[in-house]
Amino acid sequence: MDSLNSSEPPVFADIKDAARQLSGWARRTPLLENTILNDELGFRLIVKPECLQRTGSFKFRGAFNKISRIPEDMRSKGVVAFSSGNHAQGVAAAATLMGMKSTIIMPKDAPRAKIENTKALGGDVVLFDRQTESREEIGERLQKEQGAILVKPYDEPLIIAGQGTIGLEISEQVGEIDAKPDAVIVPAGGGGLVSGTALAISETLACPVYSAEPDSFDDHKRSLEAGSRQPVPNGASSICDALLAPIPGELTFSLNSRLLTGGLSVSDDEALMAMKRAMLSLKIVVEPGGAVALAAALTQKIDLKGKTVVVVCSGGNADPEMLARALAM
Amino acid sequence: MDSLNSSEPPVFADIKDAARQLSGWARRTPLLENTILNDELGFRLIVKPECLQRTGSFKFRGAFNKISRIPEDMRSKGVVAFSSGNHAQGVAAAATLMGMKSTIIMPKDAPRAKIENTKALGGDVVLFDRQTESREEIGERLQKEQGAILVKPYDEPLIIAGQGTIGLEISEQVGEIDAKPDAVIVPAGGGGLVSGTALAISETLACPVYSAEPDSFDDHKRSLEAGSRQPVPNGASSICDALLAPIPGELTFSLNSRLLTGGLSVSDDEALMAMKRAMLSLKIVVEPGGAVALAAALTQKIDLKGKTVVVVCSGGNADPEMLARALAM
């Protein structure tokens, strides 16, 4: 990838390049498992806890991979991004580290903690109404007025390559714990995380990779089945605030349609149950959207008996009320 | 250390030896921090999350360091241990990995999850009444009847050396994140974890190390002040079930009296607040006893302004009710 603004899908070399770019900046999250849980489930469940990543989600990886490559003479213009909260925090943190201003357009109903943290990380937050305003229009206006550089949440090669470093790390780390994955399951909103991860896995472990979504936002699942991008029906809702993108990304779907074995989906209650499991058995805090791949594995949306599965828990930025709700399941 | 049953205090070489013994068996837990939290606190807070260790606490390290050295011809007799739950799980897991039977003597009022997990890890659990029975007597009887090898929870050189690998890892890992600790704070029950960690830190980072305890079980703090081992008063109680040892260990105190700068203590409410902070800001689940060092840092029992502190969060085996109680703080 030569350009900061390439619109070509990334290739494996871009992920290795992103890993070098992130080295010393992003955290290399560990792999976690619990032998008691494995015995109970009848398969080996390995978790990649990106809730432990800087800013509490995987989003820092892609954001930093993009923002840190902005040439010095362009940095004064700042960056702009729209996000329900995790991309927001990733962009704000990466921009602050690079000495850049960031403007983040967030929905009014995003979790309180995500809005507050984005501000605390140095972002200028602009709130909008999901029902009546277009975040894209607000974003374009800010780009024009300020000349700010747009950092898209998923449909951008450097972002996908940055998230793909998770797949690269998984492929290296499973060797350290003597595991040979039969499948990898990854949460999907716009599809950046799963496409980048699948790209890395296809060149390393070469095992099946599945997307995981809320039942009511199963656009990846249906798109993979249809062979073309299918939107989420109007009026859909889910507690998985990180996964509410309206349709798979163009660039991400061009990768996912080739690389994914299939799409899985779970109910909000299954996501809550997975959050509880994550707290009690793995000692990590995962937000609803971050828990859908774990939920898909725990409820065996695919047959996992006797197998080894790696699931990405993509974020942990939940309000205490949501954690309490999960614990009460 | 030549013998499996040495009663000499360990030296630094024993910790390096334990690190080799644990390699590939214990998890190398990461260091975590949150820049927003650091900004808010006015100092750099780095957490070593041993809740992410195998069996959910640091105890696996010491237990495995001891049990894996038992010669093959002695393994058929099995091991015996007494513990409120974390040592129990560490011993049961290590024994099972070595193909050995384990009998674990646990108080009836230990957290449900700890009892169940010890059984699930392969331990034969014998329950006793904290108020009316002596766990030492039960342990001695089992040793005599079965010839089982006693794995003490803290007052044993191989156990201390195993826990000390945490200090060794901290000293290596702070370099990776460009941190120079001014202080290290470590929870203390019998004192094995803090003495081993302090021994490693004294030979590497050479910064002050403090013990942290519940206010009502502040025997290390008082013993350090008095210069001799002081018991916990009768009738003391705390929600920190992992830290209810009645008096500092002999061997551990011989190290701690020389190596620790001082002892800190926190209230149960401060421990609960620290658990909440750990969940929301660090995305980890910490049990009450595991959170006392974090609590001591958050409430600045020593002046930390502008400094860098490393705290060990020593375990995460809490029941959901306790986590919900912390979240409601």
- Identify the pLDDT of residue B7: 80
**Chain B residues within 8 A (CB-CB) of chain A?**
27-30, 32, 34-36, 39-40, 49, 51-52, 54, 56, 93, 113, 117, 120-121, 276, 279-280, 282-286, 316, 320, 323-324, 327-328
* CA quadruple B270, B272, B274, B280: dihedral sign: negative
Residue pointed to by tokens 């794995």: B151
* CA quadruple B321, B322, B326, B329: dihedral sign: positive
User: Per the structure block, which two tokens stand in for A297?
Assistant: 């594995």
Residue B253 to chain A, least CA–CA distance (Å): 31
Portion of chain B with pLDDT greater than 90, in percent: 88
CB pair distance less than 8 Å for A327 and B327: yes
Domain definitions of chain B by residue range: 12-58+157-327, 60-150
Pairing type for strands A102-107 and A79-82 reads parallel
**Is residue B324 scored above 60 in pLDDT?**
yes
- Identify the pLDDT of residue A234: 92
Cross-chain CB nearest to B51 (options A113, A283, A323): A283
**Is residue A288 scored above 90 in pLDDT?**
yes
Cα B257 → chain centroid: 18
Contact B308, B42 (CB under 8 A): no
- Identify the pLDDT of residue A139: 80
Contact A242, A318 (CB under 8 A): no
Provide the 3-class DSSP secondary structure of residue A309: strand
Which residues in chain B are closer than 8 Å to A316, comparing Cβ atoms? 283
User: Which of the pair, A135 or B30, is modelled with greater confidence?
Assistant: B30
Rounded-to-integer distance, Cα B92 and Cα A26, Å: 36
Helices marked H in chain B: 12-22, 35-41, 59-67, 86-97, 112-120, 135-146, 157-176, 192-203, 219-226, 250-259, 268-277, 292-298, 320-327
The full DSSP string for B234-276 is TT---S-GGG--SS--HHHHHHHHHH-SEEEEE-HHHHHHHHH
Residue pointed to by tokens 């799980």: B89
pTM of the model: 0.96
CB pair distance less than 8 Å for B284 and A283: yes
Average pLDDT over residues B163-185: 97
**Residues 6+ away with beta carbon under 8 Å from B15:** B161, B164, B165, B167, B168, B196, B199, B200
Residue B279 to chain A, least CA–CA distance (Å): 6
Q: Which of B97, B62, B323 is nearest to A283 (CA)?
A: B323
Is A60-150 in the same CATH topology as A12-57+156-327? yes
B134: how many CB neighbours lie within 10 A of its CB?
Answer: 13
> Which CATH code fits A12-57+156-327?
3.40.50.1100
Residue pointed to by tokens 């105890």: B59
Topology of domain A60-150 in CATH is Rossmann fold (3.40.50)
Contact B285, B279 (CB under 8 A): yes
Using CA coordinates, name the residue in chain B closest to A327: B320
- Identify the pLDDT of residue A138: 82
The full DSSP string for B104-141 is EEEETTS-HHHHHHHHHTTEEEEEE-TTT--HHHHHHH
Residue B291 to chain A, least CA–CA distance (Å): 13
Contact B107, B130 (CB under 8 A): yes
User: Per the structure block, which two tokens stand in for A120?
Assistant: 């605390």
User: Which of the pair, B146 or A213, is modelled with greater confidence?
Assistant: A213
- Identify the pLDDT of residue B3: 62
CB pair distance less than 8 Å for A30 and B29: yes
Helices marked H in A177-329: 192-203, 219-226, 250-259, 268-277, 292-298, 320-327
Using CA coordinates, name the residue in chain B closest to A315: B283
Pairing type for strands B262-266 and B308-313 reads unpaired
User: Which of the pair, A110 or A227, is modelled with greater confidence?
Assistant: A227
Provide the 3-class DSSP secondary structure of residue B149: strand
**Is residue A145 scored above 90 in pLDDT?**
no
**Is residue B2 scored above 60 in pLDDT?**
no
- Identify the pLDDT of residue B203: 98
Cross-chain CB nearest to B52 (options A93, A276, A283): A283
- Identify the pLDDT of residue A3: 62
**Residues 6+ away with beta carbon under 8 Å from A219:** A213, A229, A230, A231, A232, A245, A246, A247, A248
CB pair distance less than 8 Å for A327 and B328: no
Which residues in chain B are closer than 8 Å to A40, comparing Cβ atoms? 120
**Is residue A1 scored above 60 in pLDDT?**
no
**Is residue A2 scored above 60 in pLDDT?**
no
**Residues 6+ away with beta carbon under 8 Å from B167:** B15, B184, B196, B197, B198, B199, B200, B201, B204
**Is residue B269 scored above 90 in pLDDT?**
yes
**Is residue B1 scored above 90 in pLDDT?**
no
Average pLDDT over residues B94-99: 97
User: Per the structure block, which two tokens stand in for B72?
Assistant: 């093959």
Portion of chain A with pLDDT greater than 70, in percent: 99
**Chain A residues within 8 A (CB-CB) of chain B?**
27-30, 32, 34-36, 39-40, 49, 51-52, 54, 56, 93, 113, 117, 120-121, 276, 279-280, 282-286, 316, 320, 323-324, 327-328
The angle, 0 to 180 degrees and rounded to 10, between the axes of the packed helices A12-22 and A192-203 is 110
Q: Which residues pair with B225 in a beta bridge?
A: none
Rounded-to-integer distance, Cα B41 and Cα A222, Å: 47
Tell me the per-residue pLDDT of B35-59, one tens digit each, with 9 for 90 and over: 999 999 999 999 999 999 999 999 9
Instruction: Please give the DSSP secondary-structure letter assigned to residue A247.
Output: S
Answer yes or no: CATH 3.40.50.300 is held by domain B12-58+157-327. no
Tell me the per-residue pLDDT of B216-236, one tens digit each, with 9 for 90 and over: 999 999 999 999 999 999 999
CA distances from A5 to A66, A89, A159, A326, B198 (A): 9, 21, 11, 41, 51
**Is residue A91 scored above 90 in pLDDT?**
yes
- Identify the pLDDT of residue B28: 95
Rounded-to-integer distance, Cα B43 and Cα A63, Å: 26
B141: how many CB neighbours lie within 10 A of its CB?
Answer: 12
Cβ-based burial of B137 (10 A; exposed 0-12, middle 13-18, buried ≥19): exposed
Portion of chain A with pLDDT greater than 90, in percent: 88
Which residues in chain A are closer than 8 Å to B39, comparing Cβ atoms? 120
Measured between alpha carbons, how far apart are the two ends of chain A, in Å? Answer: 46
Which residues in chain A are closer than 8 Å to B325, comparing Cβ atoms? none
User: Which of the pair, B145 or A70, is modelled with greater confidence?
Assistant: A70
**Is residue A161 scored above 50 in pLDDT?**
yes
The interface pTM score, or ipTM, of the predicted complex is 0.95
